[in-house]
């Protein structure tokens, strides 16, 4: 594929790295920063061009006339959407993916039920704010989850949780899980990280306190499964949000009917806007690093403090202060990857990286085969992937075969299969895969992704 990438920030450079690792891809990056281009050009086998990615002259210089895919990933919504329109109308580039942050473009509908993105000929839009809000909503649904990922239209979820004394399965073999689960409830423990080392679980594996456990279950069974790994905990009721920007506002809007929400917003005008547009949320004008304000608002009674401003340092300081003053749990948005490793699991319980969340969504669109979802895990070293299998026994290496028959690449763990409303766990090795099944994998070694792509591909004239 010939691919044009606009923007070489964290998202653009990470996607470029993924695409440039395949010899069959010809990648060109356009950016207005000479330093950023020199940096990426020294690391990757890509072409770089200095200039405005929304300029038809620049796109022509980059080879847009015979490009297969445009990834418009700059920080400017306007640059991204104009580039997609030019790519469609002038150069007829088949795939046009744009990163769009403003809700104005996403939410506005014309009478013909077109939204702004359809008008600008965008084939797929990636909204970091929407993706991060969805991730935060998942985390707040369960008291102690470190990650909550949705699959197959939210019929199944993968949850990451740290095992604690008091959980029914802690200090016991995984095989004993059936003694506690109600009839008809099933799950798959697909990975355990102990002291940052991967343990591939078997029925005889003993879960100990402190283990980071990755499990998949039907969405309605997740809370039952949480009891296996943690003592019973009160559900999240009181949430305090620092920052009333797009993410803070969206999160409050989604949760205010079921939880007690307070938002602290520094801008007086924005605070007034939030008060008008939210129904049951208490909006406070002030700084989230103001110790007196936090104490006046009973920070020691808050279940989760979410630091969601646009400033990493502000989020970190507000999060540390809230934890010090008694907030039970702290979630912070942090963009700089070097900060993420330093913070998570210390005073700040969960660090959400918008870049990693956004990259996962882009990868789902550009991977080979019918890939429905990609979620980077363990700071991008591992992934949870959802694929849809197609074909028949003649054209597919998977359709019509039992899970136990397939030689899966080392580091690729079959987690679950979703067919209609049925969720079948990966330990059911006699399960036969069928056309249209959604299969969830946990991949602990990203370098085997090419082998997995070959397995799920539909091959004309393939005879297994």
Supply the CATH number for residue 381's domain.
3.30.70.1450
Does residue 157 sit within a domain? yes
Q: Where would I find the beta strands (DSSP E) of 144-242?
A: 145-151, 156-162, 187-194, 197-199, 212-218, 238-242
Comparing CA positions, the residue from 258, 322, 319, 266 lying closest to residue 295 is: 322
Return the half-sphere exposure (C-beta side, CA atoms, 13 A cut-off) of residue 241: 33
Any idea what the CATH number is for the domain that residue 269 is in?
3.40.50.720
Contacts of 183 (CB under 8 A, 6+ apart): none
- For position 462, what pLDDT does the model report? 42
**What is the model's pLDDT at position 386?**
93
Distance CA 115, CA 77 (A): 15
Residues 290 and 338 in one domain: yes
**What pLDDT does 110 receive?**
63
Provide the residue range defining the domain that includes 213.
132-137+145-229
Q: What are the start-end ranges of the E strands in 51-208?
A: 69-72, 95-99, 124-126, 145-151, 156-162, 187-194, 197-199
If one counts the domains in the chain, the total is 4
51 belongs to a structural domain: yes
Say which residue the tokens 């009917």 belong to: 257
> What is the separation of C-alpha 39 from the centre of its chain, rounded to a whole number of angstroms?
26
Contacts of 143 (CB under 8 A, 6+ apart): 226, 230, 233, 234, 235, 236, 303, 329
Integer Rg of the chain from CA: 23
Are residues 167 and 199 located together in one domain of the fold?
Answer: yes
Q: Is 414 exposed, middle or buried (0-12, 13-18, 19+ CB in 10 A)?
A: buried
CA dist., res. 259 & res. 302, Å (int): 11
Residue 235 counted as domain residue: no
Predicted local confidence at residue 463, as pLDDT:
40
Q: Is residue 304 domain-resident? A: yes
- CA-CA-CA-CA torsion sign (308, 314, 320, 325): negative
C-alpha pair distances (Å), 152 with each of 149, 177, 400:
10, 25, 20
Residue 108 and residue 7 in one domain: yes
Instruction: Tell me which long-range contacts 190-196 makes (C-beta under 8 A, separation of at least 24).
Output: 190/158, 190/214, 190/215, 190/216, 190/413, 190/415, 190/426, 190/442, 191/382, 191/413, 191/442, 191/444, 193/378
Q: What is the pLDDT of residue 358?
A: 87
Last residue of a domain, one of 73, 93, 126: 126
264 and 281, same domain (yes or no): yes
Burial group, residue 89, by CB count within 10 angstroms (0-12, 13-18, 19+): exposed
Write the CA distances from 414 to 22, 155, 427, 428, 438, integer angstroms.
24, 17, 8, 10, 11
What pLDDT was estimated at residue 125?
87
Predicted pLDDT of residue 289: 94
State whether 77 and 120 are in the same domain.
Answer: yes
- Cα(350)–Cα(323) distance, integer angstroms: 12
- Give yes or no: residues 326 and 378 share one domain: no
Are residues 320 and 221 part of one domain?
A: no
3-class DSSP state for residue 264? strand
Q: Which pLDDT score is estimated for 340?
A: 66
Strand extents, DSSP E, 323-392: 329-333, 350-352, 371-377, 382-388
462 within domain boundaries: no
CA–CA distance, 406 with 88 (Å, rounded to integer): 41
Task: Please list the pLDDT of the chain residue by residue as tens digits (464 residues).
Answer: 899 999 998 888 888 888 887 778 899 999 999 999 999 988 888 999 999 999 999 999 999 999 999 999 998 999 999 999 999 999 999 999 999 887 777 776 666 656 667 788 888 888 888 899 999 999 998 888 898 999 999 999 999 999 998 888 889 989 888 887 888 888 899 999 998 899 989 889 999 999 999 999 999 999 888 888 888 877 789 999 999 998 999 999 999 999 999 999 999 999 999 999 999 999 999 999 999 999 999 999 999 999 999 999 999 999 999 999 999 999 999 887 767 666 655 678 889 988 888 888 888 887 777 888 889 888 778 899 999 998 888 888 888 888 888 888 888 899 999 998 899 998 887 888 999 999 999 998 877 888 888 888 876 544 44
| Residues present in the chain in total | 464
Does any domain span residue 64? yes
Structure tokens at 143: 């008291």
Buried b (16+ CB within 10 A) or exposed e, 213-248: bbbbbbbebbeebbbbbbeeeeebebbbbbbbbbbb
Q: What is the DSSP letter of 168?
A: T
Residue 358's φ and ψ, nearest 5 degrees, are -65, -45
Could you tell me if 365 and 19 are in contact, meaning their C-beta atoms sit under 8 angstroms apart? no
Residues 11 and 81 placed together within one structural domain of the fold: yes
26 and 47 inside one domain: yes
In a domain, 461, yes or no: no
The answer on 104 and 9 residing in a single domain is: yes
Measured CA to CA, the distance from residue 151 to residue 374 in angstroms comes to: 10
Q: What is the pTM of this model?
A: 0.85
Assess whether 367 and 431 both reside in one domain: yes
Last residue of a domain, one of 201, 229, 257: 229
Given this model, what pLDDT does residue 464 score? 40
Q: Which helix (H) or strand (E) holds 26?
A: strand 26-31
**Pair (73, 7) in one structural domain:** yes
Residue 464 lies in a domain: no
Predicted confidence at residue 394, as pLDDT, reads 85
Q: At what angle do helices 246-255 and 128-141 cross, to 10 degrees?
A: 40
């Amino acid at each position: 594929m010939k691919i044009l990438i606009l923007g070489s920030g964290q998202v653009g450079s990470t996607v470029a790295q993924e695409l440039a690792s395949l010899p069959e891809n010809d990648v060109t990056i356009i950016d207005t920063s000479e330093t950023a281009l020199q940096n990426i050009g020294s690391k990757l086998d890509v072409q770089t061009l200095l200039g405005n990615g929304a300029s038809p002259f620049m796109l022509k210089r980059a080879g847009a006339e015979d490009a297969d895919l445009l990834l418009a990933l700059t920080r400017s919504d306007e640059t991204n959407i104009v580039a997609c329109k030019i790519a469609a109308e002038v150069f007829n580039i088949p795939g046009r993916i744009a990163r769009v942050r403003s809700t104005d473009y996403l939410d506005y509908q014309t009478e013909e039920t077109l939204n702004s993105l359809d008008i600008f000929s965008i084939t797929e839009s990636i909204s970091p704010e929407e993706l991060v809000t969805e991730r935060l909503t998942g985390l707040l649904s369960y008291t102690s989850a470190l990650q909550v990922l949705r699959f197959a239209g939210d019929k199944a979820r993968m949850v990451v949780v740290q095992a604690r004394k008091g959980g029914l399965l802690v200090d016991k073999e995984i095989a004993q899980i059936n003694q506690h689960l109600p009839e008809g409830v099933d799950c798959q423990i697909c990975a355990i990280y102990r002291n940052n080392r991967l343990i591939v679980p078997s029925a005889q594996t003993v879960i100990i306190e402190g283990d980071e456990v990755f499990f998949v279950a039907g969405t309605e069974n997740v809370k039952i499964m949480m009891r296996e790994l943690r003592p019973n905990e009160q559900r999240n009721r009181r949430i305090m949000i620092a920052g009333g920007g797009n993410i803070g506002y969206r999160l409050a809007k989604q949760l205010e009917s079921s939880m007690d929400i307070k938002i602290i917003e520094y801008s007086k005008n924005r605070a007034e806007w939030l008060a008008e547009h939210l129904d049951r949320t208490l909006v406070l004008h002030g700084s989230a690093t103001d110790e007196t304000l936090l104490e006046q608002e009973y920070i020691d009674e808050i279940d989760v403090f979410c630091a969601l401003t646009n400033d990493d340092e502000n989020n970190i300081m507000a999060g540390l202060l809230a934890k010090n003053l008694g907030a039970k749990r702290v979630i912070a948005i942090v963009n700089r990857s070097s900060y993420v490793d330093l913070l998570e699991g210390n005073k700040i319980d969960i660090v959400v990286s918008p870049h990693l969340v956004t990259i996962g969504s882009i990868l789902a669109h550009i991977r080979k085969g019918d890939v429905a979802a990609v979620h980077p895990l363990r700071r991008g070293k591992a992934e949870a992937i959802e694929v849809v299998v197609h074909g028949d026994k003649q054209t597919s290496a998977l359709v019509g075969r039992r899970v136990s028959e397939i030689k899966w690449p080392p580091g690729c763990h079959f987690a679950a299969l979703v067919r209609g409303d049925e969720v079948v766990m990966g330990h059911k090795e006699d399960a036969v895969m069928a056309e249209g099944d959604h299969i969830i994998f946990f991949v602990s070694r990203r370098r085997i992704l090419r082998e997995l792509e070959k397995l799920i591909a539909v091959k004309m004239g393939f005879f297994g």
